[in-house]
Amino acid sequence: MFQTVSGAGTSLQDKKAQMDEKKERKRKKWGAFQYFLMISSSIIIAMGAVILFGSQSTPSGSANILQNDRAFLFLVDSALKRYAHHKGNNYPDQLSVLVPRFLPLKKSDLIFLERLSYQKDPQEGYLLSLSHVKPGEMKIILSTKGIKYQAVINQG
């Protein structure tokens, strides 16, 4: 009787050992999900490395937007649109209201706004143009409706 009980115990231990081996083999076996996980993780790491370390540095020279009148005109136009977006389609009475929250200028640079002609218009919203146009150039008038071009007649 002792023999049969001890024999049964060893067979149970053997079966348990076999089951453990099968579980271990299943754990070591990689499925489709594990391959997908490894590949997607490596791609994410590679993209992160490209973003952090592979980007080009910014240009060392800065563009002075205040020197180019037409570029400054469009910069002020975009500031007016941001102002209207935040204030419920209302436009300022003067351009100096835009500084510094909507227009990246210092208070000492407010004299550059004198190069522009600005009118708050009830139908158009606003009319914005350059105060002085060079001979031979067309006058650009910006409004909420779009861009209008006007020929300048030189009186001599």
36 in a structural domain: no
**Is 145 part of any domain?**
yes
Residue 105 lies in a domain: yes
Total count of domains within the chain: 1
In tens, the pLDDT along 98-137 reads: 777 777 777 777 777 888 888 887 877 888 888 887 777 7
Task: With cut-offs at 50, 70 and 90, classify the pLDDT of residue 156.
Answer: very low
Single pTM value for the model: 0.54
Task: Return the SS3 of 109.
Answer: helix
Decide if pLDDT at 12 tops 60: yes
The domain of 108 spans 69-150
Pairing of strands 125-130, 146-150: unpaired
Rounded distance between C-alpha atoms, residue 129 and residue 137, angstroms: 13
Per mean pLDDT, which range of 1-10, 57-66, 83-92, 144-153 is the poorest? 1-10
Answer whether 106's CB lies under 8 Å from 121's CB: no
> What's the token pair of residue 80?
């007016």
Using the predicted structure, report yes or no on whether residue 74 has a pLDDT greater than 70. Answer: yes
- The Cα 30–Cα 119 span in angstroms is 71
Q: Tell me whether residue 27 is in a domain.
A: no
Q: Is residue 1 part of a domain?
A: no
* DSSP category for residue 93: S
Q: Is residue 31 part of a domain?
A: no
Q: Which of 54, 82, 123, 142 is nearest to 97 (CA)?
A: 82
Is residue 12 assigned to a domain? no
* 18-65 tens-digit pLDDT: 888 888 877 777 788 889 999 999 999 999 888 888 766 655 545 577
d(CA 143, CA 128): 6
